[in-house]
Chain A
Amino acid sequence: EAQVTQNPRYLITVTGKKLTVTCSQNMNHEYMSWYRQDPGLGLRQIYYSMNVEVTDKGDVPEGYKVSRKEKRNFPLILESPSPNQTSLYFCASSLQGGRGTEAFFGQGTRLTVV
Protein backbone atom coordinates (compact mmCIF):
# COMPACT_ATOMS: atom_id res chain seq x y z
CA GLU A 1 0.00 0.00 0.00
CA ALA A 2 1.31 3.42 -0.99
CA GLN A 3 1.80 5.49 2.10
CA VAL A 4 3.72 8.08 4.06
CA THR A 5 4.60 6.91 7.56
CA GLN A 6 5.45 9.24 10.41
CA ASN A 7 6.68 8.30 13.84
CA PRO A 8 5.84 8.88 16.56
CA ARG A 9 2.15 9.83 16.32
CA TYR A 10 2.23 11.54 19.69
CA LEU A 11 5.15 13.00 21.61
CA ILE A 12 5.44 14.98 24.81
CA THR A 13 8.87 16.35 25.58
CA VAL A 14 10.60 19.00 27.64
CA THR A 15 12.15 22.24 26.48
CA GLY A 16 15.64 21.79 25.11
CA LYS A 17 15.62 18.02 24.68
CA LYS A 18 16.58 17.15 21.12
CA LEU A 19 14.09 15.07 19.20
CA THR A 20 13.61 13.60 15.75
CA VAL A 21 10.36 12.88 13.96
CA THR A 22 10.81 10.30 11.22
CA CYS A 23 9.07 10.24 7.86
CA SER A 24 9.24 7.48 5.28
CA GLN A 25 7.47 7.04 1.94
CA ASN A 26 7.27 3.91 -0.22
CA MET A 27 6.26 5.55 -3.51
CA ASN A 28 9.74 6.49 -4.79
CA HIS A 29 8.73 10.14 -4.69
CA GLU A 30 11.36 12.79 -5.31
CA TYR A 31 9.71 15.66 -3.46
CA MET A 32 9.12 15.63 0.28
CA SER A 33 8.15 18.37 2.70
CA TRP A 34 7.25 19.07 6.31
CA TYR A 35 4.32 21.18 7.47
CA ARG A 36 3.02 22.30 10.80
CA GLN A 37 -0.68 22.85 11.38
CA ASP A 38 -1.83 25.30 14.03
CA PRO A 39 -5.33 26.56 14.88
CA GLY A 40 -6.07 29.77 13.04
CA LEU A 41 -2.89 29.53 10.98
CA GLY A 42 -3.50 26.49 8.79
CA LEU A 43 -0.77 24.39 7.22
CA ARG A 44 2.59 26.08 6.85
CA GLN A 45 5.63 24.62 5.12
CA ILE A 46 8.73 24.17 7.29
CA TYR A 47 11.27 22.58 4.92
CA TYR A 48 11.17 20.78 1.62
CA SER A 49 13.44 18.52 -0.38
CA MET A 50 13.52 18.22 -4.15
CA ASN A 51 15.66 15.07 -4.06
CA VAL A 52 18.42 13.29 -2.14
CA GLU A 53 20.82 15.76 -0.54
CA VAL A 54 18.73 18.73 -1.80
CA THR A 55 16.83 20.55 0.93
CA ASP A 56 15.64 24.12 1.41
CA LYS A 57 13.70 26.31 3.80
CA GLY A 58 9.96 26.77 3.61
CA ASP A 59 7.97 29.52 5.30
CA VAL A 60 8.71 28.72 8.95
CA PRO A 61 12.12 26.98 9.18
CA GLU A 62 13.43 28.55 12.39
CA GLY A 63 14.21 25.96 15.06
CA TYR A 64 14.09 22.99 12.69
CA LYS A 65 16.56 20.94 10.68
CA VAL A 66 16.06 18.25 8.08
CA SER A 67 18.17 15.80 6.13
CA ARG A 68 17.63 13.72 3.00
CA LYS A 69 20.27 11.03 2.83
CA GLU A 70 17.97 8.51 1.17
CA LYS A 71 15.08 9.06 -1.19
CA ARG A 72 12.50 7.43 1.05
CA ASN A 73 13.35 9.15 4.36
CA PHE A 74 13.03 12.78 5.42
CA PRO A 75 13.44 13.22 9.17
CA LEU A 76 12.57 16.45 10.98
CA ILE A 77 14.98 17.40 13.76
CA LEU A 78 14.32 19.80 16.61
CA GLU A 79 17.71 20.44 18.20
CA SER A 80 16.34 22.42 21.15
CA PRO A 81 12.53 22.31 21.20
CA SER A 82 10.62 25.20 22.70
CA PRO A 83 6.94 25.47 23.73
CA ASN A 84 6.11 27.51 20.60
CA GLN A 85 6.93 24.39 18.57
CA THR A 86 3.98 22.59 20.11
CA SER A 87 1.96 21.74 17.04
CA LEU A 88 0.61 19.06 14.70
CA TYR A 89 3.26 18.11 12.16
CA PHE A 90 2.72 16.53 8.77
CA CYS A 91 5.16 15.04 6.34
CA ALA A 92 4.13 14.95 2.68
CA SER A 93 5.58 13.50 -0.49
CA SER A 94 4.84 13.89 -4.17
CA LEU A 95 6.21 12.49 -7.38
CA GLN A 96 7.78 15.84 -8.12
CA GLY A 97 7.27 19.37 -6.91
CA GLY A 98 5.37 20.29 -10.04
CA ARG A 99 2.13 21.77 -11.27
CA GLY A 100 -0.88 19.91 -10.00
CA THR A 101 1.12 17.08 -8.45
CA GLU A 102 -0.77 15.30 -5.71
CA ALA A 103 0.73 15.55 -2.24
CA PHE A 104 0.39 12.46 -0.06
CA PHE A 105 0.36 13.21 3.65
CA GLY A 106 1.32 11.14 6.64
CA GLN A 107 -1.06 10.73 9.56
CA GLY A 108 0.60 13.47 11.57
CA THR A 109 2.67 13.81 14.72
CA ARG A 110 1.19 15.72 17.60
CA LEU A 111 4.07 17.29 19.51
CA THR A 112 3.77 18.95 22.90
CA VAL A 113 6.77 20.78 24.35
CA VAL A 114 6.49 21.63 28.04
Chain B
Amino acid sequence: TQLLEQSPQFLSIQEGENLTVYCNSSSVFSSLQWYRQEPGEGPVLLVTVVTGGEVKKLKRLTFQFGDARKDSSLHITAAQPGDTGLYLCAGGRVGGSNYKLTFGKGTLLTVNP
Protein backbone atom coordinates (compact mmCIF):
# COMPACT_ATOMS: atom_id res chain seq x y z
CA THR B 1 0.00 0.00 0.00
CA GLN B 2 1.41 3.33 -1.08
CA LEU B 3 0.69 5.74 1.75
CA LEU B 4 1.74 8.85 -0.16
CA GLU B 5 0.52 9.42 -3.70
CA GLN B 6 2.33 12.01 -5.76
CA SER B 7 0.96 13.52 -8.93
CA PRO B 8 1.77 13.97 -11.63
CA GLN B 9 4.41 11.27 -11.97
CA PHE B 10 6.07 13.07 -14.89
CA LEU B 11 5.93 16.72 -15.88
CA SER B 12 7.65 18.40 -18.81
CA ILE B 13 7.22 22.15 -19.19
CA GLN B 14 8.83 25.17 -20.82
CA GLU B 15 10.97 27.65 -18.99
CA GLY B 16 8.87 30.39 -17.42
CA GLU B 17 5.76 28.30 -16.85
CA ASN B 18 4.20 27.68 -13.45
CA LEU B 19 3.49 24.24 -12.05
CA THR B 20 2.05 22.47 -9.02
CA VAL B 21 2.95 19.04 -7.69
CA TYR B 22 0.65 17.25 -5.28
CA CYS B 23 1.25 14.81 -2.45
CA ASN B 24 -1.83 13.10 -1.03
CA SER B 25 -2.51 10.54 1.64
CA SER B 26 -5.38 9.06 3.62
CA SER B 27 -3.10 9.08 6.67
CA VAL B 28 -2.23 11.92 8.99
CA PHE B 29 1.42 12.89 9.30
CA SER B 30 3.07 14.95 12.01
CA SER B 31 5.42 16.49 9.47
CA LEU B 32 5.77 16.66 5.72
CA GLN B 33 9.04 17.19 3.92
CA TRP B 34 9.89 17.89 0.31
CA TYR B 35 13.18 16.73 -1.16
CA ARG B 36 14.75 17.23 -4.56
CA GLN B 37 16.94 14.57 -6.12
CA GLU B 38 19.21 15.14 -9.11
CA PRO B 39 20.58 12.32 -11.27
CA GLY B 40 23.41 10.46 -9.55
CA GLU B 41 22.81 12.16 -6.22
CA GLY B 42 20.89 11.56 -3.03
CA PRO B 43 17.77 13.53 -2.11
CA VAL B 44 18.32 16.98 -0.60
CA LEU B 45 15.82 18.58 1.76
CA LEU B 46 13.94 21.63 0.45
CA VAL B 47 11.48 22.28 3.26
CA THR B 48 9.74 20.83 6.31
CA VAL B 49 6.17 21.74 7.27
CA VAL B 50 4.72 20.62 10.57
CA THR B 51 1.52 22.62 11.17
CA GLY B 52 -1.77 22.03 9.37
CA GLY B 53 -2.39 24.87 6.91
CA GLU B 54 1.22 25.99 7.02
CA VAL B 55 2.63 27.74 3.96
CA LYS B 56 6.35 28.20 3.38
CA LYS B 57 8.11 30.03 0.59
CA LEU B 58 11.58 29.38 -0.71
CA LYS B 59 12.29 31.89 -3.48
CA ARG B 60 10.07 30.73 -6.38
CA LEU B 61 8.86 27.62 -4.53
CA THR B 62 5.75 27.65 -2.34
CA PHE B 63 4.94 24.71 -0.10
CA GLN B 64 1.62 24.11 1.62
CA PHE B 65 0.59 21.55 4.23
CA GLY B 66 -3.10 20.65 4.23
CA ASP B 67 -5.27 21.64 7.16
CA ALA B 68 -5.79 18.00 8.10
CA ARG B 69 -2.07 17.21 7.66
CA LYS B 70 -2.83 14.55 5.06
CA ASP B 71 -1.70 16.33 1.93
CA SER B 72 0.73 18.88 0.61
CA SER B 73 1.51 20.79 -2.54
CA LEU B 74 4.58 22.32 -4.11
CA HIS B 75 4.10 25.24 -6.48
CA ILE B 76 6.92 26.56 -8.63
CA THR B 77 6.60 29.97 -10.23
CA ALA B 78 8.43 30.78 -13.47
CA ALA B 79 10.22 27.45 -13.66
CA GLN B 80 13.84 27.40 -14.79
CA PRO B 81 15.96 24.57 -16.27
CA GLY B 82 17.81 24.39 -12.96
CA ASP B 83 14.57 23.24 -11.32
CA THR B 84 14.77 19.98 -13.27
CA GLY B 85 14.87 16.97 -10.98
CA LEU B 86 12.90 14.38 -9.04
CA TYR B 87 10.72 15.93 -6.34
CA LEU B 88 9.90 13.66 -3.42
CA CYS B 89 7.49 14.24 -0.60
CA ALA B 90 8.01 12.41 2.67
CA GLY B 91 5.56 12.11 5.53
CA GLY B 92 6.87 11.63 9.03
CA ARG B 93 5.19 9.87 11.92
CA VAL B 94 5.96 7.69 14.88
CA GLY B 95 5.88 3.94 14.27
CA GLY B 96 6.88 1.95 17.34
CA SER B 97 10.31 3.18 18.37
CA ASN B 98 10.97 4.63 14.94
CA TYR B 99 10.13 8.08 13.67
CA LYS B 100 9.60 6.95 10.14
CA LEU B 101 9.75 8.87 6.89
CA THR B 102 7.46 7.44 4.22
CA PHE B 103 8.34 8.64 0.75
CA GLY B 104 6.12 9.17 -2.24
CA LYS B 105 7.29 7.78 -5.57
CA GLY B 106 8.23 11.22 -6.79
CA THR B 107 7.46 13.65 -9.59
CA LEU B 108 10.06 13.85 -12.33
CA LEU B 109 10.14 17.45 -13.53
CA THR B 110 11.85 18.53 -16.73
CA VAL B 111 12.06 22.23 -17.52
CA ASN B 112 13.02 22.85 -21.12
CA PRO B 113 14.90 26.03 -22.12
Interface residues of A (CB under 8 A from B): 4, 31, 35, 40-45, 48, 50, 56, 58, 90, 92, 96-108
Contact = CB atoms under 8 A, between A and B. Distances in A.
26 contacts: A4-B42, A40-B105, A42-B103, A42-B104, A43-B43, A45-B101, A48-B98, A56-B96, A58-B100, A90-B42, A90-B43, A92-B42, A97-B100, A99-B50, A99-B92, A99-B99, A100-B33, A100-B48, A100-B92, A101-B92, A102-B48, A106-B42, A107-B40, A107-B41, A107-B42, A108-B40
Q: How large is the interface on B (under 10, 10 to 19, 20 to 34, 35 or more residues)?
A: 20 to 34
A58 B43 CA distance: 19
Given A40-B105, A42-B88, A42-B106, A97 B42 contact: no
Interface string B13-49: 0000000000000000011010000001111110010
Contacts, number: 67
B93 to A, nearest CB: 9
Given A42-B104, A98-B99, A105 B42 contact: yes
Given A50-B97, A99-B30, A100-B31, A43 B41 contact: no
